[in-house]
Each structure stands twice: as structure tokens, then as C-alpha cells.
């Protein structure tokens, strides 16, 4: 059989796919778990783009018993196959198995570093990248470039820039590394230098879509709308990310029909090609469980954590509501550090279930029994540890803003960990929220970005959750309207500071939003710009020009327009 399998492999390498497939199938009829024959058939199904069949074969290969080296190879190869398709969450168990089977394999650690980084576990990703470099015993341009991207995601921009420079010296042909370096430099605020680097890269690789899209993003951030459109070229050849960028460029130019046309084309293409639809099935039952559990009577007897080393300031806000702008402004004030999504409370729900035994949130009842009253303190320590590791909880920092999008679902747990933490809720007109989000190339929970109806339902679900928590828990809660924030940023931020309990003078030039801020810096700092009101009430001219644009979402959003007080303003 091994000889026949070798022949099948030779046929495959010679691109005689039909003969290779026939021979591999014949071998597998006799020996269903023959590793080499499975590998040949896997590669053929992959080449044929028969994804489900290739997946099944890859899983079979990864699960075969045998020597550690073979298990490491099979798991590592399948993990790389999944990574190449952007399926990082699915790749995690296979990349993990490869490292366990071959703990001294630099390649296995490198792949696991990629998977952890792209699934948000950036500290774990950094650890495995550094292990890969140590095992290699030499500097490797690809690993250094990936580590640089990891540090960029952590906001450690100066370190990332230094590593990218080193990586590109070793591998000047690393196109993605060049793009990553440009993004780091742009986020640091040196936009002319980032522009020049992208121009140089496009001179070398004029047909690379990723580099072109990065340059378009820079154009849009600098309000160079017409340049972005010219760079994108004709829409007929564009993919969804490019069409969405086209839509945002038209939005900046005030060309509403063209903007909505480009965005609608992008979303229709995503639905047709990938089946992209709003899928709230996982969110709905968890929301109901949380509502049933987190009631005043149930929560009041539970133990609380003692004060930690700093005070988190939790910034709530639906995507595109303006919480990033508020975080940028607060970061300019002494004593504040921008945490963004560095240590989401959502991650602690799994830890709580593990510590207490049982399903979250019902397992929290165990804190009433025996020695489990210390669990809130242990969870609080777990929350603070990554913030310290990333350099956020440093000398002089009293407040770290937490802008994790999942905070809206976990206000009950936040109440147990930080009973007196300020919760600032940035509100924006619901119609503006769905209009802004539909144009963004950003994945939201439950694929809410798939269309206006999904966005409206997702908004309503989140708003209902916050309303429930506010009705049941004594939260230290302050609503701040985006429209007020951009109209008078000084007054709005003073109100926030007063609520938090901070007496400080706003620095000169505060509203220009360009004062130095210590690293680490969240990615959204790349978009820092002077406070302006161009996006406030944007939906009004769109509704006037396209009367049916919001017709489908009005029944979902109008009750919230009224409840949030926007109806009183004739909006």
C-alpha cells in the first residue's frame, strides 16, 4: 500500500489529478486510514474547491493515531489550510494539537501565534511568536513581521515599527509587512510618511488589491474622497470591501444615491457569495438567560470584589455611536489611559463557569456557599492582569477606559467586579447608527452588518439588554449623546469628568484631538481627527432623498427613537 500511495503522490505532483484520485480512492477502499492516500485525496478535493469534502478529510488526517511527528504535521497542515481561508477560530484546536505534539517546532508555534493573534488573544499570540523565534535561533522576516502586527494590535506601536523595519530588512519582498508598517506609522500620526510608504509600495506592486485598499483607507481618513474613487477604479471589478469604501467616499462627497447604490451592491454580493445573513440564534437565548438571572433580588446578596489597582471607566455604545471619539478625548487628559478592548469582561464568563462549576450565569449562585465569596476578586484580578501586561496600568494612571463592544451584555458581571465603576453610555440617533454601520467593512456579532434590518434588530436587542440592567441594578450610569459631544466637546467631556469625580482643566487644543497620548494606542487612534459634526444627523438628507431607505427598519427603530428622546427634537 505504501508503494501505491507513493505512486499516487507522484501522480498528484505531476498534476495528473484524475489518475491520482482514482488510485487514492482504490487504496482507501482497502485501507481507509492510509495517511498518504488521505493526504493526496485531501489535496485533490482542496484543488477542486470541494470545501466540505476537503474539511472532512483534513479532520480525519489530523485525528489519526501515530507518532508525534506525524500527528504534529497533520494538525499543523490542516491548521494552515484553515488559516489561509481566514477560519482562525476553527484552526485553533488543530494549531494547539500541533504544538502539543511537537513543542520544539518553530513552525507549530508560529502558526499558533497567528491563530491566537487573529482570534483576539494577542498576548498568547505574542508568546508563541517569541517561542518560534527562540526555537529558530535566528531572526526570520516572516515571524518578525507577524510579531510586529501582533504588537500593533496591542497598541505597542514603537516596538511594532522597530520590528517591521527589521523584518523588511530581512525580507524586502514582504508586501504585507510593508502594508503593516504603513498602518503603524499612520496610527502614530505621521500620515505623510505613511502615505509615502504606501505610494512606494504601490509603485513596486501596482496590482495588489490589499495595498490599494490601504491607500484608499488613508485617502478616506484624510477626506480625499475623489482620490479614493479614482484609485478604486470602475465598480464592475470591485469586491465587497472596495465597494463599501466606494460607498463611504460617495458619502463624504454628499452623493447619496451613488453611496447607497455601492453599499447595496456590496451587501448583495456578500449574501449571494457567502450567504451572509443576520444570525441572532446564539445571542437570543443567552440574552434571555441573562435577563432571567440578573435581577435585583438575585444579585443583591452576591459578594462583590474589593477595589482594584485602578478604576475602569466602561464606555458603552453601539458600533459607530462615538465611544471611540470619547475614548480618544479622555486619553488626552492626565490620569487616563485608553484600554479599548484590551481585556473584555466577556472572557471572564468562561473563567467563572470553570471556577464555580456549572453554566454561566447561574453558576454565580455558588459564590454564596463555602469559600467561593472570593471569586469576584479573582475574576477582577484576571481582568486587570492583561492591562498590566500591556502597560496600561502604569504609574500615574488612575482610570482605564474599557470600550469592549460586549460590555452591554455583561453589565451584571461588571457590577460584581467593580460595583462603583462609572458606566458612560454614548448614544446616537438610531437611524444614523444603522446608516453608518451598513457602510463599514467590519464584522459585527451575529453578522448584523449584513443589512439594515439585521442592524436594526441587533440594535434593539442590545438596547433592550441595557434597559433591563438599568431597571434591575443600581448602576453608576451616565448617558452622553454623540450629537452633544460633537457640538460642544469641552462641555460634554467636563460633564463626563464631573460624573467620574475628576477635577482637572482641559488642556489647550483639546477638541483638535491631536495631543500626544502615551502608548499603547488602540487601532482606532489611526482615525483621530479634530472634533466635527459632519456625521451628526446624517440620516436626515438621506431620508429626504431616499424616502424608502428606512421603511423596513422604522417599526423596529422608531420606538427607540422615542424612548431615547430624539423624537422631541423632531428627528
Q: How far is the C-alpha of 237 from the C-alpha of 205, rounded, in Å?
A: 18
What is the average per-residue pLDDT within 500-510?
A: 94
Q: Which 3 state secondary structure label does DSSP give 458?
A: helix
Rounded average pLDDT over 238-243:
96
- Residue 301: pLDDT band with limits 50, 70, 90: very high
Q: What is the pLDDT of residues 425-445, one digit of tens each?
A: 999 999 999 999 999 999 999
Residues 6+ apart with CB under 8 A from 479: 425, 427
Maximum alpha-carbon separation in the chain: 80
In terms of Cβ atoms closer than 10 Å to its own Cβ (0-12, 13-18, 19+), residue 119 is: middle
Burial of 65 per CB tally in 10 Å (0-12, 13-18, 19+) = exposed
Query: Bigger pLDDT: 273 or 456?
Result: 456
According to the model, what pLDDT value does residue 571 have? 58
Q: What is the pLDDT of residue 36?
A: 80
Beta bridge partners of 425: 316, 479
Q: In the predicted model, is pLDDT for residue 570 greater than 70?
A: no
**Residue-level pLDDT at 568:** 61
Angstrom distance (rounded) from CA 210 to CA 242: 10
Q: If DSSP codes are grouped into helix, strand and coil, which group holds residue 315? A: strand
Asked whether residue 1 carries a pLDDT value surpassing 70, the answer given is no
- In order of their start, the domains of the chain are 300-534 (3.40.50.300)
Tens digit of pLDDT for each residue in 121-137? 999 999 999 999 999 99
Instruction: Give CA 414 to chain center in angstroms.
Output: 21
pLDDT digits (tens, 9 = 90+) for 376-428: 999 999 999 999 999 999 999 999 999 999 999 999 999 999 999 999 999 99
The residues, any chain, with a CB within 8 Å of residue 104's CB and separated by 6 or more, are 135
* Mean pLDDT score, 9-24: 76
Task: Note the pLDDT tens digit of each residue in 127-184.
Answer: 999 999 999 999 999 999 999 999 999 999 999 999 999 999 999 999 999 999 999 9
| 438 vs 278: CA distance, rounded Å | 12
DSSP state of 279: -
Beta-sheet strand order (sheet of 477-481): 336-338, 399-402, 311-316, 423-427, 477-481
Torsion-angle region of residue 317: left (phi > 0), alpha (psi -120 to 50) or beta?
left
Per residue in 474-489, pLDDT (tens digit) is: 999 999 999 999 999 9
Residue 446 and residue 458 in contact, taking contact as beta carbons nearer than 8 Å: yes
Indicate the length of the chain as a whole number.
Answer: 571
pLDDT of the residue at 146: 97
Decide which of 432 and 31 is more confident: 432
Whether the Cβ atoms of residue 424 and residue 480 lie closer than 8 Å to each other: yes
User: Which letter, b or e, does each residue of 515-554 get, where b requires 16 or more Cβ atoms within 10 Å of its Cβ?
Assistant: eebebbbbbbbbebeebeeebbbbbeebbeeeeebbeebe
- The H or E element spanning position 122 is helix 122-136
361 cis-preceded (ω within 30 degrees of 0)? yes
Average pLDDT over residues 532-545: 97
Percentage above 90 pLDDT, the chain: 87
pLDDT in tens, 266-299: 999 999 988 899 999 999 999 999 999 999 999 9
Judged on CB neighbours under 10 Å (0-12, 13-18, 19+), 511 is: middle
Sign, Cα dihedral of 559, 561, 563, 565: negative
If we measure between CA atoms, which residue out of 192, 477, 497, 501 comes closest to residue 332? 497
Amino acid at each position: 500500500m505504501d508503494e501505491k500511495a507513493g505512486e499516487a503522490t507522484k501522480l498528484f505532483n505531476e498534476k495528473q489529478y484524475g489518475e491520482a484520485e482514482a488510485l487514492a480512492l482504490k487504496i482507501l477502499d482497502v485501507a481507509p486510514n492510509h495517511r498518504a492516500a488521505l493526504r493526496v485525496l485531501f489535496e485533490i478535493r482542496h484543488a477542486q474547491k470541494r470545501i466540505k469534502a476537503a474539511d472532512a478529510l483534513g479532520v480525519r488526517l489530523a485525528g489519526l493515531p501515530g507518532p508525534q511527528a506525524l500527528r504534529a504535521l497533520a494538525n499543523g497542515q490542516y491548521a494552515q489550510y484553515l488559516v489561509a481561508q481566514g477560519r482562525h477560530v476553527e484552526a485553533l484546536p488543530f494549531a494547539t494539537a500541533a504544538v502539543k505534539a511537537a513543542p520544539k517546532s518553530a513552525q507549530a508555534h508560529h502558526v499558533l501565534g497567528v491563530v491566537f493573534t487573529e482570534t483576539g488573544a494577542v498576548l498568547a499570540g505574542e508568546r508563541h511568536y517569541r517561542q518560534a523565534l527562540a526555537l529558530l535561533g535566528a531572526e526570520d522576516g516572516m515571524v518578525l513581521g507577524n510579531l510586529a502586527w501582533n504588537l500593533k494590535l496591542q497598541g505597542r506601536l514603537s516596538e511594532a515599527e522597530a520590528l517591521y523595519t527589521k523584518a523588511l530588512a530581512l525580507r524586502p519582498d514582504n508586501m504585507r509587512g510593508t502594508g503593516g508598517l504603513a498602518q503603524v506609522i499612520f496610527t502614530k500620526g505621521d500620515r505623510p510618511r505613511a502615505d509615502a510608504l504606501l505610494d512606494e509600495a504601490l509603485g513596486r506592486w501596482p496590482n495588489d488589491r490589499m495595498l490599494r485598499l490601504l491607500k484608499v483607507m488613508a485617502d478616506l481618513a484624510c477626506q480625499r474622497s475623489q482620490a479614493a474613487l479614482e484609485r478604486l477604479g470602475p465598480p464592475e471589478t470591485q469586491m465587497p470591501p472596495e465597494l463599501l469604501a466606494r460607498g463611504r467616499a460617495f458619502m463624504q462627497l454628499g452623493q447619496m444615491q451613488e453611496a447607497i447604490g455601492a453599499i447595496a451592491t456590496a451587501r448583495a454580493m456578500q449574501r449571494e457569495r457567502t450567504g451572509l445573513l443576520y444570525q441572532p440564534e446564539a445571542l437570543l437565548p443567552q440574552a434571555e438567560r441573562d435577563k432571567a438571572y440578573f435581577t435585583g433580588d438575585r444579585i443583591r446578596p452576591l459578594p462583590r470584589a474589593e477595589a482594584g489597582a485602578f478604576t475602569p471607566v466602561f464606555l458603552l455604545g453601539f458600533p459607530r455611536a462615538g465611544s471611540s471619539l470619547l475614548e480618544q478625548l479622555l486619553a488626552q487628559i492626565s490620569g487616563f489611559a485608553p484600554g479599548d478592548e484590551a481585556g473584555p469582561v466577556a472572557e471572564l464568563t468562561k473563567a467563572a463557569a470553570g471556577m464555580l462549576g456549572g453554566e454561566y450565569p447561574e453558576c454565580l449562585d455558588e459564590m454564596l456557599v463555602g469559600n467561593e465569596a472570593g471569586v469576584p476578586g479573582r475574576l477582577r484580578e484576571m481582568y486587570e492582569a492583561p492591562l498590566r501586561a500591556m502597560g496600561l496600568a502604569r504609574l500615574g494612571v488612575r482610570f482605564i477606559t474599557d470600550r469592549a463592544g460586549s460590555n452591554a451584555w455583561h453589565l451584571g458581571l461588571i457590577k460584581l467586579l467593580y460595583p462603583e465603576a462609572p458606566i458612560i453610555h454614548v448614544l446616537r440617533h438610531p437611524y444614523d447608527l444603522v446608516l453608518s454601520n451598513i457602510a463599514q467593512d467590519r464584522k459585527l456579532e451575529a453578522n448584523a452588518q449584513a443589512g439594515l434590518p439585521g442592524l436594526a434588530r441587533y440594535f434593539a436587542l442590545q438596547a433592550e439588554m441595557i434597559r433591563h440592567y438599568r431597571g434591575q441594578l443600581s448602576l453608576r450610569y451616565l448617558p452622553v449623546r454623540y450629537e452633544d459631544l460633537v457640538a460642544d466637546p469641552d462641555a460634554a467631556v467636563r460633564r463626563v469628568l464631573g460624573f467620574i469625580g475628576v477635577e482637572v482643566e482641559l488642556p489647550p487644543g483639546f477638541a483638535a484631538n491631536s495631543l500626544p497620548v502615551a502608548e499603547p494606542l488602540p487601532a482606532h487612534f489611526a482615525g483621530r481627527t479634530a472634533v466635527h459634526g459632519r456625521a451628526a444627523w446624517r440620516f436626515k438628507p438621506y431620508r429626504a432623498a431616499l424616502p424608502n431607505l428606512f421603511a423596513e427598519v422604522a417599526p423596529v427603530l422608531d420606538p427607540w427613537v422615542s424612548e431615547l428622546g430624539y423624537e422631541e427634537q423632531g428627528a
